[in-house]
Amino acid sequence: MMITKQGSGGLFTDPDPDKARLFFRNDKRNARMMKSKIMPLSRAMDWFVRDGDYLAIGGFGSNRTPIAACHEIVRQKRKNLGFLGHTSTHDMQILSAGEVYDRIDISYGVGLEARGLSRCSRSYMESGRVTVTEWTNYSLTARLKAASMGVPFLPARQMLGTDTFERSAAKQATCPFTGMELTLIPALFPDVSVIHVHEADCYGNARFNGIAVSDIELAHASKRLVITAERIVPHCEITRNPDATLIPFYLVDAVCEVPYGAYPGGMPYEYFSDEENLNAWLLAEKTAEGFAEFIQREIFDCKDHNEYIGIHGGIQRMIELRNKELLIEKEVIV
Amino acid sequence: MKHYNDMEMMIVAAAKELENGVTIAVGTGAPCAAAMLAQKTSAPDLIIFFEAGGIHPTLVEMPISVGDSRTFYKASRAGSMGDVMDACARGLVDYTFLGGAQIDMYGNLNSTMIGKDYTKPSVRFPGSGGANDFASLCWRTMVMTIQDKRRFVRKMDFITSPGWLSGHDSRSNSGLPDQTGPHRIITNMAIMDFEPVSRRMRVISLHPGYSVDEVQDNCGFELLRSDSISVTPEPTDHELKVLREDVDPEKYLIGR
């Protein structure tokens, strides 16, 4: 294959599948064992997210995203992480507030979609302290897909002719079959990923409802995988309907039960995003001092996600968000 | 005195570009409102794809995120990003509606950064998201944006998503899929297409009350002018009623 162009962006992870194979063979033995992987979130983040690691967060920004895990990573003051900004919105905002990453593969970040831009994420990205490589959403899915297939790259047809390609770490080559120009998208094996699901058993067999985004590819591509779950269910519940298992146990290193773990983001069929909470972040970011106090209160002063839910209205608020998610018009009986 | 505002005009004009039964990939904001309005008026069989995996939902209210649960409410499928993007790559998606911070005369879009030095942006925007993928792989790209000199620029700070690149045959020579490319630009003042040889932006229709000079005055590059510039039909009472009551009752978009 003849390489015709090359993006100038940095490649933060090694796309060599032979190295990944050795890791999966030797360092993932525990994951392949049918033994309980349940542990508190704080321990899972302490054991599996190390300074300097390349981190990926599942879900889609503010949807089925392991927000509790993002808080914990900031609480534990991780440093020098690589970060996969694959439609990262509130997750990126939290990680930017903690300045836990210093390099990013980005397809979408900084913004919170229709809600507006995060000043905190923006100013961190504009500070010159973050090394950035550009991608597109499909390209990052393809990077994870390549890794999950154990191949060093996948060919694709997006990014051609643009600065997005120029600032990526992709290459361009002529197709040996058709003669057309193709983008070659390198495999991405994250050091560690966190995915939030509806249900998992103690071994890590996990299932979720609603859109998958790129979490199936991510689960297979990741060297270490932490599952946070709304509920732990008995193993017999999984075996009763194995069709529903989307992430099998042998990919999973730790299982943490974190009810409302995506809050203030939304969880399909469980609770809608808390727009007041998300808006409070956007407002707090307007001044540096105010934002520092805000982060202290919202993250550092909370021991865990349970306390965080507590300062945001507790169960009563969760019921309101559940009604909103399910479009339940409550009849008020006086 | 017009009985509608610029944003309403833009959304209604965009909705009318969608034939019944076509497939479209959209994001949040005005593009989603246009697709919703089309689905509720002239194109009830419009098939909407959201990049996070929602396929053919019934849009009861405007999604806040292209991955929130409204994007697969009463949908045919709650799939994955791979499902949706693969469908675009295989040629199954007719249209996409996009926006951007900057657009040039060839319909290239910037949603990444403003500034001279990429490593020190004066403003960092979100980046491509799925925009480059849609602009590369859907058959026809349509753009909705405000007519403004700071948006319609001669020189882009960054090309995030491909339009006709540098015009003429440059897009097809780049390797991007055959017969794809920008189709319509819909602003608060006018509708533009692209002249078929040079691939430069060309005014084809003016919204009521706007002149071609006004459009040009709010554009940072020279616009071509179609030989027969038409007048965009005004929004009907029915379209305005659906837009105001069903599509955007909270006035997130049309209140601006």
- Of all residues in chain A, the one with the smallest CA distance to B131 is A136
For A181-193, the pLDDT digits (tens) are: 999 999 999 999 9
Is B61 in the active site?
Answer: no
Instruction: Using CB atoms, pick whichever of B122, B175, B252 lies closest to residue A181.
Output: B175
Task: With CB atoms and an 8 Å threshold, state whether B81 touches A158.
Answer: no
List of domains in chain A? 3-325 (3.40.1080.10)
Residue B167 lies in a domain: yes
For B140-155, the pLDDT digits (tens) are: 999 999 999 999 999 9
Residue B1 lies in a domain: no
Task: With CB atoms and an 8 Å threshold, state whether A214 touches B51.
Answer: no
Instruction: Give residue B63's pLDDT band: very low, low, confident or very high (50, 70, 90).
Output: very high
Task: With CB atoms and an 8 Å threshold, state whether B72 touches A210.
Answer: yes
Task: With CB atoms and an 8 Å threshold, state whether A164 touches B161.
Answer: yes
pLDDT for residue A282: 97
- Domain with B117 in it: 6-247
Task: With CB atoms and an 8 Å threshold, state whether B65 touches A61.
Answer: yes
Residue B255 lies in a domain: no
Mean pLDDT, range A73-88, rounded to an integer: 97
**In this structure, are strands B181-186 and B190-194 parallel, antiparallel, or unpaired?**
antiparallel
- Of all residues in chain B, the one with the smallest CA distance to A161 is B174
The catalytic position among B17, B51, B61, B222 is B51
Mean pLDDT, range B124-142, rounded to an integer: 97
A329: pLDDT strictly greater than 80: no
- CA-to-CA dists, residue B72 to A300, B79, B145, angstroms: 35, 9, 26
Query: CATH number of the domain that B124 lies in?
Result: 3.40.1080.10
A87: chain B residues, CB-CB within 8 Å: 52, 67, 129
Residue B234 lies in a domain: yes
Instruction: Give residue A334's pLDDT band: very low, low, confident or very high (50, 70, 90).
Output: low
For A209-260, the pLDDT digits (tens) are: 999 999 999 999 999 999 999 999 999 999 999 999 999 999 999 999 999 9
A158: chain B residues, CB-CB within 8 Å: 89, 132-133, 136-137
A275: chain B residues, CB-CB within 8 Å: 64
pLDDT for residue B1: 72
Give the closest-approach CA distance of A25 to chain B in angstroms. 27
Mean pLDDT, chain B, integer: 96
- Based on the structure, what is the number of domains in chain B? 1
pLDDT for residue A330: 62
Instruction: Using CB atoms, pick whichever of B112, B130, B175 lies closest to residue A134.
Output: B112
